Chain A
Amino acid sequence: MAEQPKREKTPRGGGNGLSRRDFLKGTGAAVSAGVLVTEDLLRAQTQRTSPVVGPGPVPVTLRINGQPRQLTVEPRTTLLDALRNHLDLTGAKKVCDRGTCGACTVLLDGRAIYACTMLAIDAARGQEITTIEGLAPQEQLHPVSAAFVEHDAQQCGFCTPGFVMAAVAYLRENPNPTYEQVTHALGGNLCRCGTYMGVRHAVVEAALRGKGGRS
């Protein structure tokens, strides 16, 4: 009996009319990739032996927020650095940079992951990457983001995008959580301002709204 991991669809949040902050907007700047190099790479991939890549820059295509994005990165570039430094998607934050604090959380095929602890080239296999910029249409807030605003679930706000992404992934898995479950589910996200109570309220509130009431 073999089991396959669950796959989830990319989220599209419903908005509630609140305006998003300008700095969360993706600028959409794509780095043009060397077409010839890409073709070499594709040809090599169809052969039996996989290609040697790097250590210099190589062209890759990432699927981010529903769009293919081409960029050129060294193999050592993390997904987080690719997002922030190559694609101007700065919603995911670089804080600990060692897979502990959760500020860089993005979704990979619907699951919360640390963008700082994955190589960009490893994320270029057609997986769907969702960042905070892709959570809701422009000028709108995802219900989870809106609940964070309403419950004042942030102080300096630097960890907030990571918390929101982890919460969005969790609520799709468990739309009806208790406070205790939310605490465990967001255990990978740290807030130095100590806004955990507000965050828990916001996530439970977002869940209630999503369900129209908790059973």
Chain B
Amino acid sequence: MIPAAFEYHAPKSLEEALRLLNRHGSEAKLLAGGHSLLPLMKLRLAAPRCVIDLGRIHALRYIREENGRIAIGALTTHTEVLESPLLRTKCPLLPQTAWEIGDVQVRNRGTIGGSLAHADPAADYPAAVLALDAEIVAASADGTRTLRAAEFFVDMLTTALLPGEILTEVRVPVLPPGTGTAYRKLHQPASGFAIVGAAARLTLGSGGKVERVAVGLTGVAPKAYRAAAVEKALTGKKASEKLLAEAARHAVPQDVELLSDLHASAEYRKAMAVVFTRRALEDALARAQSKKR
């Protein structure tokens, strides 16, 4: 399998990348790791006339704390997220999720910006950024705008990014004390993609009550979503295994269009969404109780 021939650009700055993207428009594809794009190009499902490789823009590769949030440059690899002491201490859901992405070879090259912008319905990060109420920063020739994770994912392989925009940064919160997080996933064994992936974030308040909870689900539907009914069933109540199990039953709302493929039928996905939501909540609760964040 060989991709169709293309022109290759390797800009060294975001400004240059934006100029190139403006000039080439829909004939260009952005390369940010390539573990989704290159296979698509080999299958000729994508045949861009021009590839803009963002890999040399070192200014988009960082993890740093800013104004009470943690900012992650779009070109940061999954391995860097996984190994970051800052994220492990202050927002462990992202490293917990990165640990489950694909395999070590994918984690060493794939980037958080590339994964989010591609918006594969079976990708892992979407569940986590939804559960974290992350902000996603998009740059264009006209400046930057900040999107909430909840408005970023539009449909299968479709995001709110406009033509001419490049995803530059993801911002996640520093999680408050008493918060536990977990990402639990049913893997497709060969590819490592999620058949179902559940990201949970749970903060305990006084008397063991659930003060705040968020659950993001991926792999289940054409786009990742927040399991609002699960969150509602938990908020303000005293946390127990029984409560979590009951709440998890609401993981798949009626109006969700379920995915179905040779790996898992819609019915199986729905059942597993409940199971993995429960497991993620149980792990998050245990961590919240042990005061680990």
A residues within 8 Å of B by Cβ? Answer: 1-3, 5-6, 48-50, 52-56, 74-76, 78, 81, 97-102, 105, 108, 111-114, 117-119, 121-122, 125, 166, 169-170, 185, 187-190
Contacts and interface: CB of A to CB of B under 8 A. Distances in A.
Nearest to B36: A99
Interface residues of B, number: 47
Contacts of A6: 83
B8 interface: yes
Contact of B8 (A3, A75, A78, A169): A75
Given A76-B6, A114-B106, A98 B1 contact: yes
B172 to A, nearest CB: 15
Contact of B5 (A5, A76, A98): A76
B146 interface: no
A2 B71 CA distance: 10
Given A5-B77, A48-B16, A75-B5, 7 more contacts: A53-B10, A54-B8, A55-B8, A75-B6, A97-B1, A108-B108, A188-B106
Nearest to A98: B39
A117 B10 contact: no
B7 A54 contact: yes
A110 to B, nearest CB: 10
Interface of B: 1-12, 16, 31, 34-35, 38-39, 41-43, 51, 53, 55-56, 61-65, 77, 79-80, 83-86, 102-106, 108-109, 190-192
A2 B62 CA distance: 6
11 contacts: A2-B62, A3-B63, A3-B64, A3-B80, A50-B10, A100-B191, A114-B35, A119-B31, A121-B8, A125-B56, A169-B104
B25 to A, nearest CB: 16
Contacts of B83: 6
A189 B51 CA distance: 28
A110 B277 CA distance: 37
Contact of A97 (B5, B42, B64, B190): B42
